[in-house]
Structures are given as structure tokens and as C-alpha cells.
Structure 1
């Protein structure tokens, strides 16, 4: 039995390694978002600064490990075997749940997930204990105050961070304008001095006070001298930043990098418990019971967990190293950061989210309120405010999502709010604060224009909704996992471990597939940020070639699958193909929107000359997909109703011509992708005309069958639809080739 529990403890630590990786992947957005979004330094430098912050924060952390020891459950009422059941359920749930959010590119709170997993597992075991012994009550077994404080923190941190992010950024932009370099000679010193002082205060409150090397005497000295340190730092940093500005050093980059270090330091120090707190609690429980020879795991109460944790330094160092390695190597971390940057970037571009009814209502109400407010503001005041928000003067590094002023506000305000929450004993989530401050500053910066607001709001609501889903999913999944482990014993543990490994592997494979599909996005980023019309035309042509070739490839696959599935009467195959077509229709809307934004970057003459061909090409490629959809839909309905299949003669004649259509689509894709409109272009146009004529002959032959009353009328109707829509596919492909050549030509 002792060996069995030792294996469980070892497995808890193995899960902790995975948890550290997926946890850092998700929480990286907290401290990387601003520096990467503003391009404050080369990518490697930003990562090194964040890595040093993580390593130092983890090494000096006491980890707040007590929350995993007695923050949710009352350990003096639980037996060793019950505690191990809860802890194993928590780790199995946590590593899979966080990985799901990482794969979706959605930032969530590791603190909330751990607390609610502990609450769910404890609730399950508490119900079992209460049913076995009525003398227990839920209040005796569960520390509900901690769970309630976390729920309250969700609402508080979301609202406060968004509100103050909007207000502070609005005032900062009024002060500096988008051309902040003009105003820097007056305000750079005091602004950056305030920022560095706030960051230092954040480090003292959220970082140093919780560090393992801080003695009670040091903490008392820090508490008594905080005011003096803040005032002295403000004076010192203001003078230092002003001198650095005079020396032609970009002091805003200094602030952003310092803020990145501070948030990474605090993240590693305060959130380390979310990743290794549970395994350490299991390790402490195991060492306690083996120190008592003959102790029974099913009757030995874990009162030892009621005391404070003393985390060995080597656990902290190893954890810090794992987090740094994960930060540098995780592609999912970059995906989570991308979600935040997409929702807060200054320039318009490809939107990661669609629209929703709630977002449309919010935009409509906000627009009406804005119109009313604008109407009562004096005209002179409006002109002055609009001049301060002239985005044409924005100073953005190449590929940056926003400028250094907004990046500084994001980091300084986020750190300050977290520090205030810590000093007030309010368990604010660093993820919630960092994300909502970024959203508030982007709103104040007018990054959410009428063309993008509904997409951005939908994205923000999706992320916020995911936070609440995290709490609910963590509670209920861990609840059932704990029950399965308790009643299922060793076989259940082996089964759940195997399931967790399978889910992690499948998640990684799907994420890799998704990443491969999203390649090519750098072209869109450059297109949306360039102000050179010649470069814009070159990028738009490349973007168009990439998109058209990808959609034609999808068209060839879906057309072939539709015909094959219908001829073999595969309902499942047709249903799957119809879903792919629906997804492609959504993608087409996105492609059209990006292309339209790209055309706006061209000069008037080029836009008029080439824009017509571009829009015609979009229409033709859309009609190809919609025509295939109009083939698949009646075939799906026909198969679903179990109507008679096509007879052998129809199958034979259509199969032959369908393979020619598929080959035409593939050849067209290759031509557009390679951008070589030579003699093969003429061959494809001629081939398309031949296929159209052959389809017309099939149509006439089928009409003769109907006249002679041969076969089923329902079969004839669906067959004629297939022929007609296939003709449309071929005709639109031919037209697409013609306008694509016109659009790609350097000269007409």
C-alpha cells in the first residue's frame, strides 16, 4: 500500500510538470501582451526579460502553498486516502482543462481553475463522509469563504480593470496624443517616473512581501517605510528618466521592459501554487503518514496539513526552470497572446471572432449613446478632442499592434491594480486584470471602430464567458473524477490517467493541424499596416493567390467527397461534407472583409483599375463553394430520406465527368498558386467549355428519361440539380481564372 501511494505522489509531480507547461502557456499573456504588442524590443530580448522575472519570482516564492493544503478543505477531518483522492482528481482535471483553453487560444485563470477543482473534489468526498456520518456538516469540511472570495474577485477585477483601463488610457492619450514624441520633452520624465514608481510598488507588495527570504522583521520594515520609499522612488525615477530622455534613450521601452519583468516576477511568485501546490500537499501528506509506522491510510487524519507549508528551495528552482523552458518553446503560449493582441490592436485586420446578438446590441446602444453625447458637446471641444486622437499620427513599430504609451499603461495599471488587490487581501486574478486593462485601453484608444467593434466585443464576451465556464467545468469535472477514483480504485485511476494522456496528445495534434492551417497570416499583418500603395498591391496579390488556391483546394475536396458519398449512399459522409462547406462559407466572409480592407490601402487609380477584378474574383470563388453546397444539400436530404439511389447508368456517366471537374479545380488551383498564366490557361478554359457541353448533354439525356417515364422522379430531380450546379461550378471556375489573370497582371 505504501508503494501504491508513492507511485501516486510521483505521478502527481509528473502531472505538475505538464501543469507548469500548460499553465505558463496560458498565463504568458499576462506579462507578454504589452511588450510584444508594442514591439518594445526584439522578441528574444522580451522573452529573456520575462524568463529572468519568472526564474527569480519562482526562486523567491513561498508559493502561497497553504491554499492547496487547507485553503478549501479542512484537512483535520479527512483521512489520508481521501486527501490523495482529492489531490489526484484536481491534477487530472487541471492539466486537461488548461490545455483545452490553450488550444482554443483563450486566456483563463489558473487560480480559479485550481480553487474550483479543489472545491469540486472536496465537495464530492464531503458528501460521501456526510452520508456515512451525519455528525459532519459541509461547513465543517469545506472552507467556503475562499471560494466565495474568488467568485467575488471575478466580478470585481473584470469591472474595475476595464473601467480604469479606459479612463487612464483616455487621459494619457489626451496628454500625449498619438504622436507622443512631440509631447515627450514636457512629460516623459514625470510619466515614466510615475510608471516606474508604480512598478516598484507592485514588486514590493505582490513580489517581495511574499518571497521566501523575507523575514517578519523585513516585512515590518517594508510596511513602515513604504510611503518614504514611494516618494523617494518617484523623485529618483523622474530625474533618471528625464536624464535618459535627454541622452536620446527611449524611456518608454525601458518602462515596458521593467513592467514585463515585474509582472513575470509576480506571476511566478504568486501563481506557482496553482501548478505545484497540489503535488506538494500530496508529498507532505505522504511523508507524514510514512513517519507513523503502521498508520492506516483509511483512518489516519491529515491534521498536519493545517500547518503552514515549508517548500524546499530545489522545488522552487526546478519549477522556475520548467516555466522558463515552457515560455520559450510553447506555441500555445503564442496562440493565447495572439488572441489578446487581435482584440486590442490599433489597426484593422483579420478578426479572430465572429459576431453575436449581444455584441450587436451593445454596439447599437453604445453608438446611440455616443451620438447623443456628441450632440451636447460644443463643436470646438469636439475638434480639440478629435485632434488629440488623430490616429494618422500614430507612431507604431513595424508589425506592432499598438504604441508604447498604451503598452506602458497596460503594464503599470495592471500591476498597480494587482498590488492594490493584494494589499487589500482581495484575490484578484492576474489574468483577468491584465486582459481587461488591455481591453479598456484599446477601447479608449478608439481601436474599436464601427467596422471592428462588434467583432472585438464578441471576442471579449467569449473570453469572459470562458472564465465562468472554467469555474463551472473545474468544479463539476473534478467532482465526478473524485467520485470515480474513490469508488473505482486502482482500475479507475489507471483508466483516468490513460484518458488524460490521450486527451493531451489529441489536443496537441489538433493544435498543430490548426497552426499549419493558419500559416500565411504575416502577409495579412503587413497588408493591414503598410502605407506604401505599391507594397499593398503586391501583398494583396499574394494574399489573393494564397486564399484562392486554398479555397479551390477545399472546393475540389468537398465536390469529390459529395459525389462519392452520394453515390455510395453515405449519410455520414454527406453530413460531414456539409459541415465543411458551412465552415468555408464563414471563412469566405472573412476573406472578403480582409480583401476589402486591403483595397483601401491602394491609391485611387489602382483601386479602380484592379479593384473590380478583385471583387469579381471573390464573387466567383464564393459561388463555387455555394454551388457545391447546393449539390450537397439535396443529396443529403435524399439520402436521409432513404430514397432510391441513382441507377447504374447515371452513376457511370456522372462519375466520369465528376472526376474531370475535380481535376479542373485542382489544375486551376495550381495555376493560380504558381501565378503562371501561360498556355495552360488556354487549355483550362477550353477544358471547362468541353465539360459544360458534356454536362448539357447529360441534362438532355436525363430529360428524355423523364419524358419516357423511366426511373424515379425524385432521383431525376436530384440528378438534374447535380448537373446544373456542377455546370455552375465549372463556369465560375472559368470566370475566376480570367479575372484572376487580369488582377495579377502588372499591365493591362
Structure 2
């Protein structure tokens, strides 16, 4: 058994290496977003600054692991075997949860996940021990105060951070406006002094409080002289920032990079316990058991974990190196960062989230409130606010999601709130605070327009829901896993280890595939960011053709799958196709939304000329999808009910029609790839021929249905529906071909275009 326990401890450390990588990917959102989103520096320089902060914070952390050692459970009442099961369950659950959330691009809290995993696993083990009649209650086995304080901190941090983010950014924007460069003068010195002082305060109170060089005497001196330190820093930094501004140094970029560094130091210095606390506690337990346990793993109690543990420096340096390498190389870190930047972007773009009922209600109520507010506000006041909040004057670097004023407020305010919460003994999460501050500042900056608000509110709700979902999933998952290990013993441990490795490999494979798909959408980002409107239409036409070519290929494949499954009575294929068609509807809607955003970057004349045919082509694609869904629905119901199959004589005649339609789809795809519009008239005549063939077949089957055998009526009704929808689908292809020809027409004149009503 000792060898098994050694293997478990080694496995915990292997998982810790991956957990460090995954955790950095998740928490990169805390200290990268503002610098990246405001383009304060190149991505490489931002990473260098953040990496230095992460390494310093990790290397100088004192490694105190109280939460993992005795913060949730009372170790004096748990055996070595109990704790090994708890630690194993926590690490397995943590790896799975964090990797899933990162792959989805959803930031979550490593603090919440670890606390609730420990709580869930300990709760189940406590139930098992109490059922065994040990004479102890929950108060003797669990320490729920820490978990309750974390929950309280979550609720407070979400509301407070959003509120202050909105208010502070609103005031900052009133002071500087969106055309902030013309309003700096003497203001930048005071603003820079406030920001730099807040950052220093954050580093001293929050970021450095647990670093190894912070002796009790030094902590006491800082606490007793906090006011003097703040006033001195404010005076010095105000003068310094004003001098830098006079010397033509961009003070705002310096503030953003300082804030990035401070958050990175605090993250690594204080959150390191979330990643390596459990494995180190497992190692300490194993060492104590081997020295004093006498081989009785289920009887040896772990009183030793009540004492403090100073983590060896080589563990801290190793953790720092892993975190820095992960930060520099992790694509998932960029995926999580993209979520917050997308939700707070000042410009329109690809919205990552859909619409929800609660978001629509909130937007409607807000619009009603704003309408009332405009009515009661004096006209002069409204005009003054509109001048200060004129989004058209926004000054941003090329490719930035928001300006440097908002980036500075994001970092400084997040640091100040975390420092304040620390001084009030509230366990605020850096993830919660930084995310909600960013959402509040984006709201104050009018980044949530009427056409994007519903999507961004849905995104915020989804992210917040993900945080609370983390707590529930961590509690339940760790509890189930620890119960399985407690009763299943070593074989379940080995099985869970193998399962964890498989999940990690499979998750990374899926993420690489998704990343490849996202990289394939680089053309859309190019169209959105291009400043030359004369180049927008050729790029947009290329993008539209690429997306619709994929759809036509997909439609031909699914048409063959549906009809073949109907003929061969394959209910499984029809069920999978139903799900696939539902997903394809979302894909089409997302593509149309992106293409509509691109249309806004055209010149007005070009947009009027092309938009009619663009919408017709999209409607035709959606019509084809609806035809496929209606065909599949009827065929699936028929096959699921085990009704009679299609008679052979009808199968033979229909397969000829299906071959013609597959040929039509393939020819259309080839046409789209080559751009040879001369073939369109030929393909449209081919559509007419197919429609005539389908119509003749339909009428013949209809006559036979009216006079034929009643036993075959059910399948013939399905066949008639298939023919009707097929005919409609061919009509949609015919209309699409005309729309495609008009879109490809390069003979564009600058005269005012007449809006044409498309016909078949």
C-alpha cells in the first residue's frame, strides 16, 4: 500500500504541473485584458511584464497552505487514507473543471473551485465517518466558516465591483471625454498620481503581504504608517507623472503596464495555494505517515497538518517557471482573455454569446428608464453630457478594443477594491473583481449599444453563472469521486488516474480543433479592422462565398444522409442529423450577423447596391436548411414508429431524382469556387428541369395515393412531403444562383443605385 500512496502523491504533483498551466490560462484574464484590450504595448511586451510579475510573486511567496492543510477540515479527526482520498478527488475534479471552463473561454475562480472541492470531498468523507459511529458531528469534522466567507465575498465582489466600475469610469469620462488627448494638460499629473498611488497601495496591502521578505515588524510599520505612505506616494507620483507628460511620455501606457505588473504579482503571490497547496499537503501527509504511521493508513490521524508549513524555495521557483512558460505559450489563456475583451469592446464585432430572455427584459427596462431620464433632464445638461460622451471622438490605437483611460481605470480600480476587501478581511476573488470592473467600465463608456447590449448582458450572465456553477460542480464532483475511491479502494484510484489523463488529452485535442476553426475566421477580423473601404467588398465577397460554399456542401451531404436513412430505416442517422441541422441554424445565424457587421464597413452606395442580394442569398440558404429540417422531421417520425418502408418502385425513381439534386449542389459549389458566373444561366435551367421532374413524380404519386392500397398510405404521405420540400429546395437554389450572380457583379458604378426587388 505504501507504494500505491507514493504513486498517488507523485500523480498529485503531475496534476499540479498541469493545474498550474490551466490555472494561469484561467487567471490570465485578471492581469492581461486591460493591457491587451487598450493596446498599451505589444502582446509580447505585455506578456514580459506579466511574466516578471508572476515569477516574482511566485518565487517570493511564503507558500503558506492553511486552506489545503486545515482550512476546511479538522485534520486531527481524519486518517491518512481519508486525506489521500480527499486530495486525489480535489485534484482530479479541479483539473477537469478548470480545463472545461478554459476550453469554453469562460473565466472561473480557482479559489472557489478549490474551496468547494475540498468542502465537497470532506463533506462526503465526514458522512461516511459519522455513519461508522465514531461519535463526532459536522462541527468536529468540518470548518465551514471559510467556505461561507468565500461565498459572501463572491456576492459582494460581483455587485460592488460592477457598481464602482460604472461610477468611476463615468466620472473619468466626464473629466477626460473620449477625445482625452486634448484634455490632459494638468489633469494627467493628478490622474497619474492617483493611479500610481493606488497601485503601490495595492502591492503593499494585497500583493506583498504574504511575500517571504515581509517580516511582522515590516507589516506592522506599513499598517501604522499607511496614511503617510499614501500621501507621500501621491505627491511624488503626481509631480513625476506631470514631468513625464511634459517630456512627451505616454503616462497612460505606463499606468496600464504598472497595473498589469501589480496584479500579476498579487495573483502569483497569493493564489499559488490554489494550484500547489493540495499536492504539497499530500506530500506532507505522506512524509508524516511514513515516519510515524506504522503502516496503518486508516488508523493514523493527521494531527501534524494543524501546524504551519514553510514551502521550500525550489518548489516556489519551479512553480514560477511553469506559470511563466504557460502564460507565454498557452492558447487557452488568449481564449479566456478574448471573452472579457469581446464583452467590453467599444466597437462592434463578433458577439460570442447569443440572446437570452432575461437580457432582453433588462435591456427593455433600461431603455424605458433612459427614456424617462431624458425627458426629465434639462436640454443644456443633456447636450453637455453628449459632448463629453461623444463616442465618435474615441481615440484608440489600431486594433484596440477600448482606450487607455478605460484600461487604466480597469486595473487601478480592481487593485484598489481588492486591497480594500483585504483590509476588511473579505476574501475577494481577483477573477470576480477584475471581470466585473471591466463590465462596469464598458457600460459607462456606452460600449453596450442597442445592437450589442442583449448579447453582452447574456455573456455577463453566462460568466457569472459559470462561477456559481463552478461551486456546485466542484462540490458534487469531488464528493462523488471521493466516495468512489473510499469504497472502491486502489482500483478506483488507478481507474480515475487513467480517466483523468484521457480527459486531459481529449480536451486538448478538442481545443486544438476549435482553435483551428477560429483561426479560419481571420478573414472576418481583417474585414472589421480594415480602414480602406475600397478593399472591404472584395474581402467580404470572399468571406461570404467561403461561408455559403461550406453550407452548400453541408446541405448536399445532409440531404443524401436523410434520404438514405429514410430508405434504409436508419433511425439513428435521422436523430443525429436532427441535432446537426439545429446546430447549423446557429452557425448560419452567426455567419449572417458577422457579414451584416462587415456590410457597415462598405461605402453607402456599395452597401445599397449589394445588400439586397446579400440578404436574398442568406434567406435562400436558410430556406434550404428549413427544407432539410422539415424533411428530416417527417422521415424521423415515420421511421421511429416502425411504419412500412418506401416500396422499391418508388425508391428506384427517387434515387434518380436524388442523383440530379446532388449533381446540382456539387455544380453550384464548383461555380462558387471558380466564380464563373457564365454557368449560372445553365444551372438555373437545370433547376427548372429538376423541378419539372419532381412535379411530375409528385402528381403521379398523388394520383396513386388517391387510388392505391391504403396500407401504404403513411409512407406515401412522407414521400409526397419529401418531394414537395425537395421542389422548394431546388427553387431556393435557383434564387440563390441569381443572388450570387448579382453579388459577383464587379461592374459597380458610383451613381445612386436603385433598390431592386429580387424575384425568382
2:675 partner SS: coil
Number of the residue aligned with 1:336: 336
1:518 partner SS: helix
8 A Cα contact 1:174 1:388, kept in partner: yes
Question: What number of residue pairs does the alignment pair up?
Answer: 747
Distance 1:654 1:327 in 2: 58
Residue 682 of structure 1: how far off its partner (Å)? 4.6
8 A Cα contact 2:63 2:310, kept in partner: no
8 A Cα contact 1:93 1:478, kept in partner: yes
Distance 1:747 1:407 in 2: 45
1:135 and 2:135 aligned: yes
Distance 2:75 2:639 in 1: 60
Residue 198 of structure 1: how far off its partner (Å)? 0.9
Q: Structure 1 residues 293 and 438, CA, compared in 2 at 3 Å: closer, same or farther?
A: closer
Out of 648-657 and 607-616, give the one that drifted further: 648-657
Distance 1:358 1:398 in 2: 34
Calculate the TM-score normalised by the size of structure 2: 0.95
Distance 1:249 1:566 in 2: 71
8 A Cα contact 1:117 1:474, kept in partner: yes
Residue 75 of structure 1: how far off its partner (Å)? 0.8
Out of 61-70 and 286-295, give the one that drifted further: 286-295
Distance 2:295 2:446 in 1: 65
8 A Cα contact 1:347 1:401, kept in partner: yes
Number of the residue aligned with 2:5: 5
Distance 1:608 1:114 in 2: 55
Q: Deviations over 1:82-122 (max 9, x none)?
A: 11111111111110011111111111101000000000111
Number of the residue aligned with 2:379: 379
Number of the residue aligned with 1:550: 550
8 A Cα contact 2:677 2:741, kept in partner: no
Q: Deviations over 1:21-65 (max 9, x none)?
A: 111111111111111111221111111111111111111112441
1:581 partner SS: helix
1:172 and 2:172 aligned: yes
Structure 1 unmatched ranges of 5 or more:
none
Q: Structure 1 residues 534 and 176, CA, compared in 2 at 3 Å: closer, same or farther?
A: same
Number of the residue aligned with 1:455: 455
Number of the residue aligned with 1:690: 689
Number of the residue aligned with 2:675: 676
1:500 and 2:503 aligned: no
Q: Deviations over 1:192-228 (max 9, x none)?
A: 2211111111111122111022222222232233322
Number of the residue aligned with 2:757: none
8 A Cα contact 2:4 2:490, kept in partner: no
Out of 588-597 and 189-198, give the one that drifted further: 588-597
Number of the residue aligned with 1:199: 199
Number of the residue aligned with 1:435: 435
8 A Cα contact 1:399 1:526, kept in partner: no
Q: Structure 1 residues 193 and 315, CA, compared in 2 at 3 Å: closer, same or farther?
A: same
Distance 1:652 1:221 in 2: 92
8 A Cα contact 1:158 1:436, kept in partner: yes
Distance 1:384 1:530 in 2: 32
8 A Cα contact 2:81 2:297, kept in partner: yes
2:175 partner SS: helix
Residue 529 of structure 1: how far off its partner (Å)? 4.5
Out of 730-739 and 391-400, give the one that drifted further: 730-739
Out of 510-519 and 345-354, give the one that drifted further: 510-519
Distance 2:258 2:141 in 1: 44
Number of the residue aligned with 1:422: 422
1:84 and 2:79 aligned: no
Number of the residue aligned with 2:38: 38
Distance 1:432 1:465 in 2: 12
Q: Deviations over 1:246-305 (max 9, x none)?
A: 222221111111111111111111111111000000001111122226252221111111
Number of the residue aligned with 1:702: 701
Number of the residue aligned with 1:73: 73
Residue 131 of structure 1: how far off its partner (Å)? 1.8
Residue 683 of structure 1: how far off its partner (Å)? 4.6
Number of the residue aligned with 2:472: 472
Across the aligned residues of Structure 1 and Structure 2, the Cα RMSD in angstroms comes to 1.8
Out of 557-566 and 99-108, give the one that drifted further: 557-566
2:353 partner SS: coil
Residue 481 of structure 1: how far off its partner (Å)? 0.8
Residue 587 of structure 1: how far off its partner (Å)? 2.6
Residue 309 of structure 1: how far off its partner (Å)? 1.7
Q: Deviations over 1:541-594 (max 9, x none)?
A: 233123212222222222222122212212221121111111222232333333
Q: Deviations over 1:691-723 (max 9, x none)?
A: 333323322332343244157122222112212
Q: Structure 1 residues 285 and 448, CA, compared in 2 at 3 Å: closer, same or farther?
A: same
Residue 650 of structure 1: how far off its partner (Å)? 1.9
